[in-house]
Structure formats: C-alpha cells, structure tokens
Structure 1
C-alpha cells in the first residue's frame, strides 16, 4: 500500500496521483486553497468587506443570507459566527431526512433560539427518502450519502431564490476537514435521478433535486453565491466546540457528522466494510497539512479500526425496512462507481474552463474546479475493476 509522503491519503483513493517526491495531488490542492483563502488580518478584512457587501445588497430583505444547520460543530459555530461576528441576519435552514439524532435536534433548537434566528425545516416524506437511500445502496457505489448532501444543497438554493437572498453561507473548512476525493464521493442531479430510475419504486415529490441547468440559472441569472467564511479562519474544532457549548448549550453528537444516525452507520461501517474507505484519512490529512497533528500521530490513530456503535447496523436495516438477506446481497454485490451511471461529469469536463473562470469570480467555490477540473474517470474505473477481482 503506497501512502503519501506528507499526509495519510493512500491508494484507497482511486484517483490519487503522487509527484516525484511522493506527495499526493490532494496535498497540492490544499496548498492552492491556502493561497486562495488567506488567514489573519487579510482574511478578516475579506470577511468584513463581504459582510458589508451582503448587508448593502439585502437592505430591503428580512434575511440577508441563508445558513444550513445540522446540529454538528461546523454549522453551529458558523451560525454563531455569522450572527455574533459578521452581524448578519441569517435564515437557518435544516433538511430533516428522518435520521436526526436527538442531540442534533436539541442543538439546532438551542442555537437558533439563543441567537434569535428563524429556522426553516424542510421535512422529506420518509417513504420517498427511504426509497432513494435504498436505491443508492443497491447501486453499489461509495455515494450512498449523496442523496442527503445534494438535497440539502437543493433546498438551500431553492429557498435563497424564494427569499430573494443572494448568499448561501456554508460551514466547510479545508484546513480542518480536507477535500473529499472524487472517487470516494461524487454527486450531481442526473446521477441521483438515474440511480432512482434504475432501482427505486417511488416518484420524488417531497424534496428538491435541482438540475445542473437550474443551478446555472441560480448562479448566473439570479446571482446567488456560496460563501465559506471558515476557510478564512484559523478554525479549530475543539475551540469551536468549547465556545458553542458555553454560549449555545451545544452537545457533542459523538463524532464528525454523527449528528445523523445514517451518516454514522455510513462512515463507520458501510464505507470501510464494503469499499475499504476510511474517511478519517481525509480529516487527519488536513490536520497534518495544517500543523494540527503529526503524520505519526495520524498513522497511529488509523491503526485502530473506525469504531462502530453497537447495534447501529441492525437499527439502520430495520429502519430502512430491508431484510438481513437483502442487506447481505448489498454488502456482497460488485462495487461500482458514478462512472457506471448517467451523470453530468462529461458535461462538467467539457465546460471546465468556464467553470474555472466562475470559480475565480467566486461564483462557485474554488474547490469545484480544483476537484472536478481533471478527468479521473479512467483511473476510477481501473481502480474499482481491480478491487472487484481481489
């Protein structure tokens, strides 16, 4: 197993590329993002100017931005930062897909109440969303969590249009979380709809899945932008957790993205067992690059298998309404990837230079081009083909 000389990403990343020094392409993406998102006074000034711009553009609106909230560390701290530091008037938005932990629900309620922020919750029809999640399990790709991610994204954009808000504020920090390899996670509307047509039985009505063309309309015609303030901060999750515990009564759900029971199952059991994917490598690699921990400390942590909560697999199977035999078939079926389904990826590749310009203009987050600007489909196909032969 070859491993990056700088971080802990390795050959379990299908599209990983090493330079002559053994450093991976995701370390290089991290360095490019450092140049794009300065810290310190320069980063503060950028955010101050942006907040003033947002206020001016939204003077006649009830809300001047939209913030997605999940009850986890990042989104809770982001909401605090937007209200207390940037002095903005956000609308907090949550997508309820039926998998919220009790702690997540309490965290969202406490944060919005104590900050005096309105909360909009989009509730999915459980039978519809369950059917879509089962479809992605049957599709046998590492993207079984994509439906949730993309629907959240779609809800935010649709609500921004409805409320005439020009800014969606996201809580991602590449310094703390890293960049997810495309061979581990890929999402677009055509992909989701194709998987649902192949394996699903229900028509989706209760939640949106916006098309690429609708997204382009929102971006270039409606001029709705996505902003990531945490990218400009020397963001520390432990310090953020201390603050939101003290100020907002926040409780720890027990791990990164574990505010969702399904995500906890997905990251701790499903990905490692079926695909040999351990997403801790992404986060630990980010911390190494940011000087938060040493490479040796990260390697030591990875020697211990991702902890799986007792009973969580049985709980998920039962909640999804599938039999143990069906689940065994899912776990043992041939591994595939987004390359095996209809997606917008070839179209994204065709328009990669206009996308590059849009990223430079901050119409899209810069990571969109850095991540999707290279065609990795051949490497991904070859990787999973070899994986299936083991």
Structure 2
C-alpha cells in the first residue's frame, strides 16, 4: 500500500460535519480555513509542520536562542532586555517563566487589554507577574470605543475582535519604540497550528507582516460616523522607519524550544497555581481562558466558514496523538455549532439583532462555504 493510499484510507476514519467540504486526510482542518493548502497527499500545512517538528535538532535551536538572548542582553545595558507581550494566558505565562527563570532575562511585560477580561484571566495575569516579580505596563481602551469597534469589526473582517487582533501587536510595538527595547519575544510558533509558515520559514516582522497577518483590515476600514482616526491611535503599528532605526527583532520561543501546550499548562498549574476554566466553543479548559468573548469570535467563524475553535483544538490533538480523527470529529460536532451565551452581550453592546449578526457572516461566505445552509 502506498503512503497516499494509506492516508486516504485513514481519512475515512470519522465522519466530518460537512459532506461537500474537503478535509485534511490526517487531521480535521477543512478547506474553508483561511490560507489552507494541502500537499499532493491531501495533508494540510499544519500537519506537515507537525511532522517536521519531530525532526528538528532542538538542542541546536536552543543554543541559538541562548546566543540571541545574550546578544540583546549585552545591547540593553541598563535598559530592559526584551519585551514580552502578556495576556495571562498559558503561552505568555510560560514564555515569561522561561525568560526569567531559565535565562535570567529582565523583561518588560506589556499587556493590551481587550477590555473583556475574565476573572480567571485577571487572576492568572497578576499571579504570574507577582511570582516572577516582573515590571508591567497595561493599556485598556475605553469601553465605548471597544463596543463601537466590535460592531465595525463584524463588517470588516467577519468576527468581533479586530480591536484585539490589532491592539495585541500594535501596543507592545509602540512600547518597544518608546522605551528603545529592540527585542520582542512571543510564545507559540505560527507553524504550530496555522497555515502561515513552517518551521523552516523565517518570519520577517516588518510593518506589513502585522498589517497582513494580525489585523486583516486597515484602520481606515473601521472608520465610520462615530469612530474617528484619532480614536484609533492604540491600534497603530509604528512606522517601518521607526522599527528599522531601533533594529527591531522579534522571535517566537516555539521556534527554539519544543512547544507542548499540554505539558506546559500542567507545569504552570503545579508551579504557579495557574487556573483553568470553562471556555465557550471548545472542550479545552486552558486556551483563551483570559477572555470572556472567545466563544463569540469562534461562533462567528463557524457561521462564516463552517468550523470553530473545537476544530482547531481537536486537529492539534490529533497531530499530538491525544485524539483519533474519529474522536476529534465527534467533539467538533458537539462544540462548534453551540451558540455561546456571551453572544447576548455582544448583541447588546453592538446593537445588532441576532438575525443581522448571522446575515452579515453568511454574506461573507466564499468557496465551498457558500453552499452551507
């Protein structure tokens, strides 16, 4: 039996939610996922990266990480060694632990608050900052602005969270320029779960990267009668000339150390008392636990593309060997279609009716998703 035949046979395990949609033959990612590309065997890029991950010389990568951190520590002098964007979620908490405890770095932790923090998220954030004794800056946009942008976001990008997509990158970059701190350290590699690159692709963190990958829409696309350009300063990425002048450099820790979200979460719980909680739209209790609204974001994706957060998480678990493809599809069918309770809040702050909410998203369907009922 050829490898292609074996993969095609294995793809029969489990019945996917949509019969007229193509799925990765290894995991559960549908072709309606933005940027999805399959190879000649029908394997998605995230699965290809997962296989590649097992053949990386992680010891060599970690030596390169050490050299990189030492280089920027030497340049920092009396300044902070790096900036760590932190939400209080598992990834940013773990990256802060690695930098402080393992490498002895002096980071400045920077938080863009989406103004939708959950009580659990607040506790996790303050707890890790306190236990690691790290200096911290936080910016919180006005509730009224968040509400207005959340409404425009649905039209502009088909989800509720443009202000978060934009702010979590723009504000730490603004701080980097203001404080003259050229090194920014993120956590999980984008090759871990997405379709944007592999472990062999170098990510160039220039202004176009943040505009293209993170925000998906420009500030101009959000402006309207009650949102002025001056309101949108928190979401502006610094000019490329400013980033170049300071020698800005960004890295993902997940490109240098073997990233295992399950083990890292267990470590954080035992070492720091990090808390899990129920999260709407998924069976995972540790992903996006810091936010009250991920269920709305993911339900919007389900209405627009036919899959939600449970598909993302179940596919990762299939790649990690934690679920069979059949088990994953059963979880997907249970969790993805669920209407989140927080949708009531979103409709209240935006003024949409539920019918309007659904029609806006359905109007943005493309390709195979256009045939969804």
TM exceeds 0.5?
A: yes
Give secondary structure in 2 for the equivalent of 1:119. strand
Q: 2:292 aligns with which of 258, 261, 267?
A: 261
Is the 1:71–1:103 Cα contact (8 Å) retained in structure 2? Answer: no
Q: Is the counterpart of residue 44 in structure 1 residue 65 in structure 2?
A: no
Q: C-alpha distance in 2, partners of 1:106/1:296?
A: 36
Q: C-alpha distance in 2, partners of 1:245/1:309?
A: 30
**5 Å matches for 1:107-186?**
107-139=124-156, 141-174=157-190, 177-179=193-195
Count how many residue pairs are aligned between Structure 1 and Structure 2. Answer: 333
Q: Is the counterpart of residue 106 in structure 1 residue 123 in structure 2?
A: yes
Q: C-alpha distance in 2, partners of 1:251/1:108?
A: 10
**5 Å matches for 1:1-390?**
1-13=21-33, 15-28=35-48, 38-61=56-79, 63-139=80-156, 141-174=157-190, 177-179=193-195, 187=213, 191-198=217-224, 201-205=227-231, 207-211=233-237, 214-254=238-278, 255=285, 256-267=287-298, 269-306=299-336, 308=338, 311-318=341-348, 320-322=349-351, 325=353, 327-333=354-360, 335=362, 383=367, 387=370
Instruction: Please say which of residues 250-259 and 98-107 is displaced more in the overlay.
Output: 250-259
CA deviations over 1:116-163 (Å, ceiling 9, x no partner): 101111111111122111111234x33432321211101011101111
Give 1:90 deviation, angstroms: 0.7
Is the 2:141–2:234 Cα contact (8 Å) retained in structure 1? Answer: no
Is the 2:118–2:290 Cα contact (8 Å) retained in structure 1? Answer: yes
Give secondary structure in 2 for the equivalent of 1:6. coil
CA deviations over 1:322-375 (Å, ceiling 9, x no partner): 25x3x42122136466xxxxxxxxxxxxxxxxxxxxxxxxxxxxxxxxxxxxxx
Q: C-alpha distance in 1, partners of 2:213/2:192?
A: 22
Q: C-alpha distance in 1, partners of 2:219/2:331?
A: 38
Q: C-alpha distance in 2, partners of 1:297/1:333?
A: 32
CA 1:172–1:221 in structure 2 vs 1: closer, same or farther (change >3 Å)?
Answer: same
Q: C-alpha distance in 2, partners of 1:133/1:309?
A: 18
Is the 1:95–1:123 Cα contact (8 Å) retained in structure 2? Answer: yes
Is the 2:177–2:242 Cα contact (8 Å) retained in structure 1? Answer: yes
Give secondary structure in 1 for the equivalent of 2:136. strand
Query: Structure 2 length normalisation: TM-score?
Result: 0.78
Is the 1:97–1:124 Cα contact (8 Å) retained in structure 2? Answer: yes
CA 1:193–1:18 in structure 2 vs 1: closer, same or farther (change >3 Å)?
Answer: same
Structure 2 unmatched ranges of 5 or more: 1-20, 198-210, 279-284
The aligned counterpart of 2:282 is none
Give secondary structure in 2 for the equivalent of 1:261. coil
Q: C-alpha distance in 2, partners of 1:102/1:130?
A: 20
Give secondary structure in 2 for the equivalent of 1:329. helix
CA 1:163–1:169 in structure 2 vs 1: closer, same or farther (change >3 Å)?
Answer: same
The aligned counterpart of 2:200 is none
CA 1:167–1:57 in structure 2 vs 1: closer, same or farther (change >3 Å)?
Answer: same
Give secondary structure in 1 for the equivalent of 2:111. strand
Give secondary structure in 2 for the equivalent of 1:124. coil
Please identify which structure carries the higher helix content: 1
Give secondary structure in 2 for the equivalent of 1:205. helix
Give 1:40 deviation, angstroms: 3.1
Query: Structure 1 length normalisation: TM-score?
Result: 0.75
